[in-house]
Structure 1
Amino acid sequence: MKTATKAELALNPKKGLNIRTRSSITGWLFVLLAVIMIFIFYFYPMIQAFILSLKTGTGVNMEYTGFSNYKRLLSDVTFWAAVKNTFIYLIVQVPLMIILGLFISVLLNDNKLRFKGFFRTAIFLPCVTSLVAYAVVFKYLFSPDGLVNSLLMNVHLISSPIQWITDPFWAKITIIIAITWRWTGYNMIFYLSSLQNIDHSVYEAARIDGASAWTQFTKITIPLLKPIILFTSITSTIGTLQLFDEVMNITKGGPGNATLTISQYIYNLSFKYSADFGYAATVSYSIVIMIIILSFIQFKAAGERNG
């Protein structure tokens, strides 16, 4: 068999490459642009943000001070108040949203249910609703003379209006209701799409064996949806740790930082108070660390249950 000479390889480099190598190069050429864009718009800003977190000062007068911002973080009362509020939302709202999404998806997956398309659209619609519009509606609904207080007083559940926006406890409840209303439909879509891929013969066999609806839900549906439940748990956790929009538009972090979140605190440090971008970058990296830790815990917990 005749081998290619150096001159032939120079004229036609492909002769010196096998099919697997050429396929690999072709594949990398297709994804090269995406890799470059991801690095420029994701990883490079992350690196720059970390470098920024090691600086103090304003504008061009910033100077390296090492980990002084991280030491400051440990004694920052406002930061820990924001962390506390964020974790209250996380602990209450994420399980509530996942459980509601599961139950609603199971109900909407019933073949006997009429107008399923309407209900699915209605429940998913809040996800695509204008944030400012729905924040204004919520402020109106939960105002002292709003619809919610009027309904509760008409059915004699309360004797005086609840201060949903101005009371520290009820303001947190309002934020939790708003987040749950907006994002439950988002998780529901994932569960619903997964349920439609489960063979109905599995449920038919369970019914023949005498399994109740609750037994089918706990012994069949939940185990088969575990990967999707893990995915939605992690994405919901990340979204809640980055919570900003609802708090900013409904309560503005008040009253007295009672609803302040970490992301809103970053905004305040950058644009509301005297600009301190170095410390704001430090606070933003605290969210990264929390996300990594909580995601690792969730993966480990899910892995142990699957094992």
Structure 2
Amino acid sequence: MITAKENQTQALPKANSGRKTRLKNNVIGWSFVIIAAVMIFLFYFYPMVQALILSFQTGVGANLTFTGIDNYTRLFKDPTFLTTVKNTVIYLIIQVPVMILLALFLSVLLNNKTLKFKGFFRTAIFLPCVTSLVAYSVIFKYLFGQDGIINMMLMKISLISEPIQWLTDPFWAKIAIIIAITWRWTGYNMIFYLSALQNVDESIYEAARIDGASPIQQFFKITIPMLKPIILFTSITSTIGTLQLFDEVMNITKGGPGNATMTISQYIYNLSFKYTPDFGYAATVSYAIVIMIVIFSIIQFKAAGDNNE
């Protein structure tokens, strides 16, 4: 007959073995997590903290002095910064809604099971977002030049009588930038919507058709509500991308004419490398973008009715 003492003696090695196995698994798991965490800290959080500290300093090179919130108060008195904010917000409120709606329309169209060559059209629309930013910006610069293909085509079909100054007129230069951004990123957002639509049960649309719902009613009453989380995600990511817009403006118009198309990111570049280097104020402008991203993201969450449900 086995006594209670003998049972405890036999159970101890098993318990010790289980603890060693769990400890070993924890060590292996944490080794992967720690490596990633250290890399994230070194390349993300540490530079963010250093930039925040730098935003309270001024000077050239290593000769920096602490100035408190002087750089932040300077923002509201800086006409160039205010102009770049206005330009960036114009891009945001025009380009992002147009791109989102166009991506939604294309995703619904390309989700049609009766459409032929869907793979070709999906690839063709998505392809711009994997092209080089500099290469496509240079191409658009030539397309929208005074003697570019765009003006030639518009004049050939008699829509205009003289070339449009796409790159030298403040209004048309902004339009050219908006067209370029929309061309590049519409396909990127379309892929998200298309993936979500393919997971929607077809029986929902069949029931709506039986009830007499038109395609437009199906789009607004079924498609839009079911894609709401994806629309919110793409709206926020597109907002972040537009507020950080740099490559297109730098390569197509260089911020001109004057400062009519300059964005906040280009102004940061100019403050750091083109004008007399002022890294403290450039860091302050960078954090202005962070604040704007937070504000616009909160607005979008509220507009979408997201209550963290």
Q: Taking structure 2 as the reference length, what is the TM-score of the superposition?
A: 0.92
| Aligned partner letter, 1:246 | E
CA distance in 1, matches of 2:190, 2:62: 48
| Aligned partner letter, 2:8 | K
| Aligned partner letter, 1:264 | Q
CA distance in 2, matches of 1:141, 1:29: 52
CA distance in 2, matches of 1:305, 1:114: 41
Q: Cα 1:279–1:14, aligned 2, differ >3 Å: closer, same or farther?
A: farther
Structure 2 residue 268 is the aligned partner of structure 1 residue 266: yes
SS in structure 2 opposite 1:133? helix
Structure 2 residue 216 is the aligned partner of structure 1 residue 214: yes
Counterpart among 84, 93, 96 of residue 94 in structure 1: 96
Counterpart among 229, 236, 244 of residue 231 in structure 2: 229
CA distance in 2, matches of 1:300, 1:81: 28
CA distance in 1, matches of 2:26, 2:209: 50
* Cα deviation digits, residues 126-177 of structure 1 (max 9, x gap): 1011222212211111111111111111221111110000000000000000
Match of 1:287 in 2: 289
SS in structure 2 opposite 1:136? helix
Kindly report which structure 2 residues correspond to 1:32-111, keeping only aligned pairs within 5 A, or say none: 32-111=34-113
Structure 2 residue 8 is the aligned partner of structure 1 residue 2: yes
Match of 1:166 in 2: 168
| Aligned partner letter, 1:62 | L
CA distance in 2, matches of 1:165, 1:293: 31
| Aligned partner letter, 1:295 | S
SS in structure 2 opposite 1:62? strand
CA distance in 2, matches of 1:216, 1:18: 55
CA distance in 1, matches of 2:26, 2:231: 35
Match of 2:259 in 1: 257
Note the C-alpha offset of 1:18: 9.8
CA distance in 1, matches of 2:285, 2:8: 65
* Cα deviation digits, residues 202-234 of structure 1 (max 9, x gap): 111111111111111111111000000000000
Note the C-alpha offset of 1:2: 2.9
Q: Cα 1:221–1:154, aligned 2, differ >3 Å: closer, same or farther?
A: same
CA distance in 2, matches of 1:220, 1:230: 16
Kindly report which structure 2 residues correspond to 1:176-195, keeping only aligned pairs within 5 A, or say none: 176-195=178-197
Note the C-alpha offset of 1:303: 2.5
Note the C-alpha offset of 1:190: 0.3
Note the C-alpha offset of 1:30: 3.0
Match of 1:151 in 2: 153
CA distance in 2, matches of 1:16, 1:27: 15
CA distance in 1, matches of 2:85, 2:210: 50
Runs of at least 5 residues in structure 2 that lack an aligned partner in the other structure = 1-6
CA distance in 2, matches of 1:284, 1:132: 22
Q: Cα 1:107–1:66, aligned 2, differ >3 Å: closer, same or farther?
A: same
CA distance in 1, matches of 2:25, 2:223: 41
CA distance in 2, matches of 1:112, 1:129: 30
Note the C-alpha offset of 1:301: 2.0
Range with bigger deviation, 106-115 or 23-32: 23-32
The alignment covers a number of residue pairs equal to 301
Range with bigger deviation, 128-137 or 287-296: 128-137
Structure 2 residue 305 is the aligned partner of structure 1 residue 299: no
CA distance in 2, matches of 1:135, 1:304: 36
SS in structure 2 opposite 1:57? strand
Percent sequence identity is: 71
* Cα deviation digits, residues 61-91 of structure 1 (max 9, x gap): 1111111111111100000000000000000
Q: Taking structure 1 as the reference length, what is the TM-score of the superposition?
A: 0.92
CA distance in 2, matches of 1:274, 1:172: 27
SS in structure 1 opposite 2:305? helix
